[in-house]
Amino acid sequence: MSGLTILIVSFVCFVIAYLVYGRWLAKKWGVQPDNPTPAHTMTDGIDYVPARRSVLFGHQFASIAGAGPINGPIIAAMFGWVPVLLWIIFGGIFFGAVQDFAAMFASVKNRGKTIGYIIELYIGKTGKTLFLLFTWLFSILVVAAFADIVAVTWNGFAADGSHIAANASVATTSLLFIVAAVGLGFYLKNRNPGAGLSAAVAIALLVVCLVLGLNFPVYIAKSTWLYFVFIYIFIASVTPVWALLQPRDYLNSFLLIIMIAAAFIGVVVSNPEMNITPFAGFEVNGQYLFPILFVTVACGAVSGFHALVSSGTSSKQIDNESDMLPISFGGMLVECLLGVLALVAVGSLAVGGTMPTGSPPVIFAQAVAGFLAVLGLPTDLVYTVITLAVSAFALTSLDSVARIGRLAFQELFLASTGDRQGAVSGFLTNRYVATFFTLLVGYLLALRGYADIWPLFGSANQLLAALSLIACAVFLKRTNREGWMLYFPMIAMLIVTFTALAFTIIGLIGKMDAGAFRYGSDGLQLVFAVLLLGLGLIVATKCLKKLQEAKA
């Protein structure tokens, strides 16, 4: 089958899903545009700041996308393009988009609080504490994995000491993005320009950063960049959202749109063939379709990280309740479209059914550059820009997850009322202290490299989605709203993730028996896998029990 046919069918499905299912959910749950949102009633100039719909869509989209919808589908394509495509479409519509919308809606209706607070309010304090601990551990995994990925994409030197021009250009442009974002943030806050002027200024800054980055590459080693990344995300997680987080994500949203548009146009004009098998079987390279497919695609279909963004940062910036549907539900569907494009990309580069070599971002960039070569665009330029986009969104995800990890750490030591409880609580809930402890553990893990961390990311991410769906279902039932549309997704994801974590633990124990166990990296994975599985089981049990008992 041609890639263009796959893309058109997927696009039509997502548009219909938004116009029909998304609007139906908004009506069923009772979105009320006239109600004041927490961004207005609890404005603090740091986390609670009203944001224009286009700006907040940029933050949400850039934060949830990252490298996930590119990495996941390309890796999962080993099972064939049909199961991956079906999971992206149906999982994205009925699992991912619903979860993102429900998490944001529940948070906005509860003073912009996180899913952890919602669990405490409707399920109990113990459940909330365990969930926050789970969230904090998960945030550390994301910080460690994505920080290492960003440092690698900025690394200006190959193993033999030679220069890597594309990486050095990406590093320069990324640094310029940060500076431009600060300036844009002050401009938007003090001048409050219209949507058209804001977009024009952002695009102009984007072009300037790209031109300078391509012409003035910075060659610095990975180890040095890793220090810089952690210093940056420390600052980003404690800085008021209007000064860095909002404008940087707004800038990056244009870059991501350019990347998606380039890939979309490339598929239309080149109409590549899918050169991988439609279905490779239920077992491939020792990996089973269930549960590995669903865990691997991850962000391309459903992601617990999205619930943290929707309830941790975006809900505190919602200007009007009517903005929730396009920002959460719509943002997820656009991410699914990116996942489809990634699947078409890997299918086009395959030869005789054999998957192409290289990392997923490299495969995606090579494919898009090949698509656009039909239009006469320079392959090297397109490759560098696409690589830049992938790197930029990995850093954007870091911005958000560092703030989310900090908020989870703070909530662990706050009273139910949100107040501090004594000197120790006051110290640990200080945003600088909470950020330091979160990033310190993340940095220590990042030193081992993302390859040792990534296997647990998918399972933890999907388990977090299941727990978020349960919490939202309890909220909907306790507030006399229909939540049955969340029941099947949450049960399915619980089965998938518990199975995946069990496989991971069994595999690591098997390595121990065979004498191949590495007490450094393997031991770390085993500890995290057991903790995640244990916490997940306890929280899921408590939440499901409350869901069964809940009365409106």
* Nearest C-alpha neighbor of 290 from the set 495, 451, 94, 488: 495
Rounded Cα gap, residues 188 and 431, in angstroms: 25
Are residues 213 and 170 in contact, defined by beta-carbon separation less than 8 angstroms? yes
Phi-psi region of 551 (alpha: psi -120 to 50; beta: other; left: phi over 0): beta
DSSP code per residue over 263-288? HHHHHHHH--B--S-S---SEETTEE
For 158, list phi and psi in degrees, rounded to 5.
-80, 175
Residues 297, 298, 300, CA angle at the centre, nearest 5°?
A: 70
Rounded Cα gap, residues 115 and 118, in angstroms: 5
User: What is the sign, positive or negative, of the torsion defined by CA atoms of 312, 453, 455, 232?
Assistant: positive
Rounded Cα gap, residues 513 and 209, in angstroms: 53
* Nearest C-alpha neighbor of 461 from the set 84, 148, 142, 233: 142
CA distances from 520 to 142, 189, 426, 448 (A): 19, 48, 35, 9
Rounded Cα gap, residues 357 and 354, in angstroms: 9
Which one-letter amino acid corresponds to residue 174?
Answer: S
Are residues 322 and 531 in contact, defined by beta-carbon separation less than 8 angstroms? no
Please enumerate in sequence order all residues whose Cβ is within 8 A of that of 12, keeping only pairs 6 or more positions apart, or say none: none
pLDDT at 552: 47
Alpha-helix residue ranges (DSSP H) falling in 350-378? 360-372
Residue that the structure tokens 């998918």 belong to:
458
Rounded Cα gap, residues 504 and 511, in angstroms: 11
Rounded Cα gap, residues 147 and 141, in angstroms: 10
Rounded Cα gap, residues 26 and 67, in angstroms: 29
Rounded Cα gap, residues 105 and 114, in angstroms: 11
For 96, list phi and psi in degrees, rounded to 5.
-65, -50
pLDDT, tens digit only, all 552 positions of the chain? 889 999 999 999 999 999 999 999 999 999 999 999 999 999 887 788 898 888 888 778 877 876 778 888 998 999 999 999 999 999 999 999 999 999 999 999 999 988 878 888 887 888 888 888 888 888 888 888 788 878 888 888 887 888 888 888 889 988 898 898 888 888 888 877 877 888 888 889 888 988 898 889 999 998 899 999 999 989 888 888 778 777 887 787 787 788 888 888 889 888 898 999 999 999 988 888 998 899 889 888 999 889 988 987 899 999 999 999 999 999 999 999 999 999 999 999 888 778 888 778 778 888 888 888 877 878 777 877 887 787 777 787 787 788 888 888 888 887 655 555 667 778 888 888 888 988 988 888 777 666 666 667 778 888 889 989 998 999 999 899 999 999 999 999 999 999 988 988 888 888 887 777 776 667 777 887 888 888 888 888 888 888 887 654
Rounded Cα gap, residues 212 and 177, in angstroms: 11
Please enumerate in sequence order all residues whose Cβ is within 8 A of that of 540, keeping only pairs 6 or more positions apart, or say none: 466, 467, 470, 494
Are residues 213 and 173 in contact, defined by beta-carbon separation less than 8 angstroms? yes
pLDDT at 499: 92
Rounded Cα gap, residues 248 and 185, in angstroms: 8
Residue length of the chain: 552
Are residues 50 and 339 in contact, defined by beta-carbon separation less than 8 angstroms? no
Rounded Cα gap, residues 212 and 151, in angstroms: 20
- Three-state DSSP at 216 gives coil
**How many CB atoms neighbour CB 257 within 10 A?**
15
* Nearest C-alpha neighbor of 341 from the set 249, 414, 258: 258
Rounded Cα gap, residues 438 and 521, in angstroms: 20
Rounded Cα gap, residues 401 and 309, in angstroms: 8
Long-range contacts of 126-129 (CB under 8 A, 24+ apart): 126/542, 127/539, 127/542, 127/543, 127/546, 128/411, 129/412
Are residues 55 and 198 in contact, defined by beta-carbon separation less than 8 angstroms? yes
**How many CB atoms neighbour CB 443 within 10 A?**
18
For 278, list phi and psi in degrees, rounded to 5.
-60, -40
Rounded Cα gap, residues 495 and 459, in angstroms: 11
pLDDT at 431: 85
Rounded Cα gap, residues 154 and 72, in angstroms: 21
Which one-letter amino acid corresponds to residue 209?
Answer: C
- Three-state DSSP at 108 gives helix
